[in-house]
């Protein structure tokens, strides 16, 4: 015979924490607490299998369920020493849902079940408190009517409101026992009126009604949506927990409270919590009365004047502190517990792992490991890798007030305040005077780099997550909010207008690049502080992970930042970013408007020494770590100015007819630049560009060796290839340059030539590409764009709708789409390794810094992930967690 019902209480239980799938989180923990001897109101759990049966069998129950429930109820009555429906001392129960995964507030709960016109008398007699009893009764009628009988709540609220109005009350506490009694009567009449039958008086009928409602609530709209959003299968089902009611509101020897076994904000190892005397659980949350600190530590920390539980109920506090001890030792995790004191007796109603801030998670993990409670591996698993982002950038002070005047894309994390400037030159000038400024523009372009560098943050009204502003800001670690369409910039008037607020040049504005929000005025920010715990955890992560973590960086500043964060090399140096700086852009533009190969070569010759020095700097900073350098990738028109005036300037500097510049710009214009004349297509059509870059890289190797004696093995990466033929042509070009450099320097060197895998065809033909490529780096940004056929820049038009409609679970540009893009990545890894067993495999798309994607990279067998400097710690931790998961799968 199948077991459908699991009893708990009286110092033991049928179930345990192990049976979470069967009993749900709440039921499993109630059983577990009974097993470890904590004082839990007795009860029983109807398992999730009943829920499954219920839905598989047209909302009916297994034939033997009723018998098992009756038996469990019998046990319960024995333990509680009360009888269900007893008119003198009735057993009252709560009926609560409890699924495998936490679904807070999604399903239904009924309290005080078992009350009726008869048992109310017993409750009055036992509690000696008619007001409490009638209050409990009317609460039960209301809850049961709403949840089980489906009567609209407003019916009840209207009655209560009108009573209070008539009586001239403002608060519920002013209601007397008679008032509540009258209300309870009126509530019953509502039921009679709405349903044409009386409120059910049989406690058993009440029980089965509530059980059915809880199972039914598993499939309500709200629960379905929640499950879809959190990826919880409908097949899991919920359990139903039936538990003896205990009351914290039966007098001053009663109380109720919540506590955390450690401080959830800081992680400090102190007992932390709040309680209220003579109150029900919901009162603690409702905020009508101010909760009191549970102990002196909390009292001091919150500068509270209210007496703590430690002071008012010292014995019970000591018992509770003992529970804290027991729970942490047993669960080896910080717990969030609920307790009730009924007439000086402490009951624990719930325990679960406590939510905490990123900083607290870090501290708790490291502390618990140091305390010997958990292993290093467990500590590493305890911190949400993505949450580290909070620790690495300034954040808005969570206590500060803020007026949001616009919302855009969270283009680069961190919060920053500063005076509004609207030009890069202004930004630089003001910053030089010591001002913190926010550069506010419709969009940015290469000419703005110096101003972006000088600014504390960047705000644009156009452009997406890969707009110029976004990419450059992330690289520089500057906060950036992009594409705030609702903000209107009037450049001439020097005003910024949104949601009815108009700010002027020089006014202070705050942006939160992690949330994509824009605030008027200064919102205080909190600076990040990397604790010793951070470094300890990172070190443990490093001991565990298999994959290396590199960074995407091209400037010395970024490279140094990344090394500081533990980067083990550069996985992507985007040489084009180097082209935007200072005088270079002039030479680059001369190169682009060149009419002949000779003119182009002369402009390139001017760039060569600058490029060489870039690489010398990077090689020295990365001190022996691998450096992957991607040859020029973007279409040439990206380097040309957009306005007529700027074009004329370029013409002047380049010494050519302005008409020519315009013509060239028009010629280079593209319908779909993302799919245009870029990547290695430039290398095939203008080999002299790649030749110059290869020379700069290889000459830098020579120079570094001469200056420092160090041996650098650069990894030269060819972007956007879709065939082996492209690689063959360009590798031959690089080899030719290498031959020349080696001969003229009389120096032998090693270098690798590899390719990005960022087009479906490259992945599909990876075995062929690997004949020539010595390494693959998955450019998952472009691979996602082409696999989905979605332009990241334009996705804003429909991606939110797609995520709302649940077509996509997450933005595939944030978390790698394993079922589509992932298929290509895995296929390419297999084919690549098959063709060249020692091929290096890495990822350099933005996914390299996303924990879920890092986990995928581990299973795909990549050698390393590469991400922006500020995400390096996230990737290190995520890689360690991925390695642990892999070990578990292997075991």
Q: Catalytic site residues? A: 468, 844
**Residue placing its CB nearer to a second copy in the complex, 392 or 733:** 733
CB nearer to a second copy: pick between 492 and 797: 797
CA 390 to chain centre: 10
Q: Tell me the C-alpha distance between 184 and 106, whole Å.
A: 27
CB of 792 to a second copy, least distance (A): 8
Nearer to a second copy, 304 or 723 (CB): 723
The CA-to-CA distance between both ends of the chain, in Å, stands at 34
| Residue 488 and residue 472 in contact, taking contact as beta carbons nearer than 8 Å | no
- Rounded to a whole number of angstroms, the minimum distance from the CB of residue 667 to a second copy is 8
C-alpha span between 544 and 119 (Å, rounded): 61
Closer by beta carbon to a second copy, 626 or else 641: 641
Q: Which residue has the tokens 């930042």?
A: 561
Least distance to a second copy, CB of residue 759, Å: 4
User: 149-173: string of b/e by CB count within 10 Å (b at 16+)?
Assistant: bebeeebbeebbeebbeeeeeeeee
* Least distance (Å) between residue 885 CB and a second copy: 24
User: Residue 677: helix, strand or coil by DSSP?
Assistant: coil
Q: By C-beta, is 727 or 880 nearer to a second copy?
A: 727
Q: State CA 852 to chain mean position distance.
A: 10
Task: Assign residue 547 a region (left: φ > 0; alpha: ψ between -120 and 50; beta: otherwise).
Answer: beta
Q: Which is nearer to a second copy, 763 or 874 (CB)?
A: 763
Where are the strands (E) in 408-507, listed by range? 409-412, 415-421, 437-441, 457-460, 479-482, 488-490, 495-498, 501-504
Residues 6+ apart with CB under 8 A from 349: 40, 41, 243, 246, 281, 338, 339, 340
Residue whose CB is less far from a second copy, 643 or 743: 643
d(CA 242, CA 47): 11
Nearer to a second copy, 491 or 685 (CB): 685
| Least CB distance to a second copy at residue 576 (A) | 17
Q: What's the rounded Cα separation, in Å, for the pair 230 and 215?
A: 20
| Minimum distance from residue 573 beta carbon to a second copy (Å) | 22
Task: Find the shortest distance in angstroms from Cβ 680 to a second copy.
Answer: 10
CA angle 817, 822, 827 (to 5 degrees): 165
Closest CA to 714 of 728, 733, 695, 730: 695
Toward a second copy, which CB reaches closer, 71 or 670? 670
Chain-centre distance of CA 65, in angstroms? Answer: 42
User: Closest approach of Cβ 463 to a second copy, in Å?
Assistant: 9
Return phi, psi of residue 357, to 5°: -75, 165
CA–CA distances in Å: residue 508 to residues 252, 421, 855:
52, 10, 41
CB of 590 to a second copy, least distance (A): 20
Do residues 824 and 848 touch, judged by C-beta distance below 8 A? no
* Pairwise CA distance, residues 627 & 174, whole Å: 73
Q: Which of 577, 579, 574, 581 is nearest to 627 (CA)?
A: 574
Q: Going along 483-585, which residue ranges are E strands? A: 488-490, 495-498, 501-504, 508-512, 517-520, 525-526, 548-552, 570-574
Helices 154-167, 177-195: axis angle to 10 degrees equals: 150
Minimum distance, C-beta of residue 214 to a second copy, in the bound complex (Å) = 30
Cβ burial, residue 804 (10 Å; 0-12/13-18/19+): exposed
Interatomic CA distance for residues 461 and 447, integer angstroms: 18
Gap between the Cα atoms of 83 and 63, Å rounded? 25
Catalog residues that contact a second copy under the rule CB under 8 A: 668, 670-677, 681, 684-685, 720, 722-723, 725-726, 729, 758-761, 764-765, 782, 785-791, 793-794, 797-798, 801-802, 805-808, 817, 819-821, 823-824
Indicate the residue among 48 and 787 with the shorter CB distance to a second copy.
787
List the structure tokens of 78: 């024995």
Nearest to 277 by CA among 312, 244, 302: 312
**Smaller CB distance to a second copy: residue 437 or 765?**
765
How far apart, in whole angstroms, are the C-alpha atoms of residue 385 and residue 118?
Answer: 56
Name which of 841, 844, 731, 831 is nearest 780 in CA terms: 844
Least distance in Å: CB of 819 to a second copy?
A: 6
Q: Which is nearer to a second copy, 337 or 721 (CB)?
A: 721
Pairing of strands 864-867, 548-552: parallel
Rounded to the nearest whole angstrom, what is the least distance from the CB of residue 232 to a second copy in the complex?
17
């Amino acid at each position: 015979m199948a077991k459908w019902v699991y009893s708990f209480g009286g110092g033991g239980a049928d179930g345990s924490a192990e049976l979470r799938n069967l009993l749900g989180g709440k039921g499993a923990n109630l059983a577990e607490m009974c097993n470890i001897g904590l004082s839990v109101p007795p009860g029983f759990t109807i398992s999730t299998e009943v829920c499954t049966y219920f839905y598989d069998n047209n909302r009916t129950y297994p034939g033997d369920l009723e018998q098992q429930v009756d038996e469990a109820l019998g046990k319960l009555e024995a333990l509680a020493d009360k009888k269900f429906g007893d008119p003198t001392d009735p057993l009252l129960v709560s009926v609560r849902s409890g699924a495998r995964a936490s679904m807070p507030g999604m399903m239904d709960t009924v309290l005080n079940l078992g009350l009726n016109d008869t048992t109310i008398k017993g409750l009055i007699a036992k509690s000696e408190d008619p007001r409490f009893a009638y209050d409990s009764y009317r609460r039960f009628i209301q809850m049961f009517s709403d949840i089980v009988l489906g009567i609209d709540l407003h019916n009840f609220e209207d009655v209560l409101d009108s009573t209070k109005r008539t009586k001239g009350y403002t608060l519920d506490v002013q209601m007397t026992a008679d008032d509540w009694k009258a209300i309870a009567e009126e509530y019953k009449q509502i039921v009679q009126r709405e349903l044409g039958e009386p409120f059910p008086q049989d406690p058993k009928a009440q029980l089965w009604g509530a059980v059915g409602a809880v199972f039914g609530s598993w499939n309500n709209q709200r629960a379905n949506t929640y499950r879809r959003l959190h990826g919880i299968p409908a097949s899991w089902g919920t359990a139903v927990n039936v538990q003896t009611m205990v009351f914290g509101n039966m007098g001053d020897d009663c109380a109720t409270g919540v506590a955390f076994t450690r401080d959830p904000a800081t992680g400090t190892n102190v007992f932390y919590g709040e309680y209220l005397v003579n109150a029900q659980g919901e009162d603690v949350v409702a905020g009508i009365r101010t909760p009191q600190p549970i102990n002196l530590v909390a009292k001091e920390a919150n500068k509270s004047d209210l007496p703590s539980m430690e002071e008012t109920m010292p014995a019970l506090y000591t018992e509770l502190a003992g529970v804290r001890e027991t729970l942490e030792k047993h669960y080896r995790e910080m717990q969030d517990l609920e307790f009730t004191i009924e007439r000086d007796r402490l009951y624990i109603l719930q325990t679960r792992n406590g939510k905490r801030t990123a900083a607290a998670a870090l501290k708790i993990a490291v502390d618990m490991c140091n305390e010997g409670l958990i292993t290093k591996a467990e500590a590493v698993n305890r911190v949400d890798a993505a949450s580290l982002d909070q620790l690495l950038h300034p954040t808005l002070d969570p206590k500060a007030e803020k007026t949001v005047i616009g919302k855009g894309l969270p283009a680069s994390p961190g919060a920053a305040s500063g005076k509004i400037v609207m030009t890069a030159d202004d930004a630089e000038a003001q910053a030089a005077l010591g001002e913190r400024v926010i550069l506010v523009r419709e969009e940015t372009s290469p000419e703005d780099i110096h101003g972006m560098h000088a600014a504390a943050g960047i705000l644009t009204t156009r452009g997406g997550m890969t707009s110029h502003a976004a990419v450059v800001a992330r690289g520089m670690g500057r906060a950036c909010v992009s594409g705030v369409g609702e903000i209107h910039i009037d450049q001439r008037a020097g005003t910024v207008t949104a949601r009815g607020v108009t700010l002027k040049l020089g006014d202070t504005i705050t942006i939160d690049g992690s949330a994509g929000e824009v605030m008027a005025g200064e919102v205080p920010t909190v600076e990040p502080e990397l604790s010793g715990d951070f470094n300890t955890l990172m070190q443990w992560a490093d001991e565990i992970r298999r994959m290396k973590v590199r960074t995407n960086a091209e400037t010395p500043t970024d490279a140094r930042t990344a090394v500081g964060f533990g980067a083990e090399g550069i996985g992507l140096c985007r040489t084009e970013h180097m082209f935007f700086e200072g005088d270079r852009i002039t030479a680059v533009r001369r190169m682009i408007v060149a009419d002949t190969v000779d003119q182009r070569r002369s402009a390139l010759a001017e760039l060569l020494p600058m490029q060489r020095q870039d690489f010398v700097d990077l090689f020295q900073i990365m001190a022996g770590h691998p450096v992957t350098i991607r040859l020029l990738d973007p279409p040439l028109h990206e380097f040309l100015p957009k306005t007529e005036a700027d074009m004329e300037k370029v013409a002047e500097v380049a010494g050519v007819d302005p008409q020519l510049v315009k013509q060239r710009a028009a010629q280079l214009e593209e319908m779909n630049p993302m799919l245009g004349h870029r990547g290695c297509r430039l290398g095939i059509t203008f080999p002299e560009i790649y030749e110059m870059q290869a020379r700069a890289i290889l000459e830098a190797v020579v120079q570094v060796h001469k200056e420092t004696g160090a041996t650098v093995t650069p990894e030269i990466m060819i972007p956007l290839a879709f065939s082996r033929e492209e690689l063959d042509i360009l590798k031959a070009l690089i080899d030719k340059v290498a031959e020349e450099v080696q001969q003229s320097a009389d120096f032998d060197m090693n270098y690798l030539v590899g390719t990005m895998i960022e087009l479906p065809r490259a992945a599909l033909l990876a075995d062929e590409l690997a004949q020539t490529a010595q390494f693959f780096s998955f450019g998952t940004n472009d691979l996602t764009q082409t696999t989905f056929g979605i332009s990241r820049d334009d996705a804003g038009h429909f991606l939110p709708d797609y995520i709302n409609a649940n077509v996509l679970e997450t933005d595939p540009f944030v978390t790698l789409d394993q079922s589509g893009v992932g298929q290509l990545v895995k296929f390419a890894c297999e084919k690549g390794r098959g063709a060249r067993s020692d091929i290096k495999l890495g990822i350099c798309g933005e996914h390299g810094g996303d924990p879920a994607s890092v986990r995928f990279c581990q299973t795909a067998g990549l050698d390393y992930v590469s991400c922006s400097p500020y995400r390096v710690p996230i990737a290190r931790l995520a890689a360690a967690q991925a390695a642990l998961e892999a070990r578990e799968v292997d075991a």
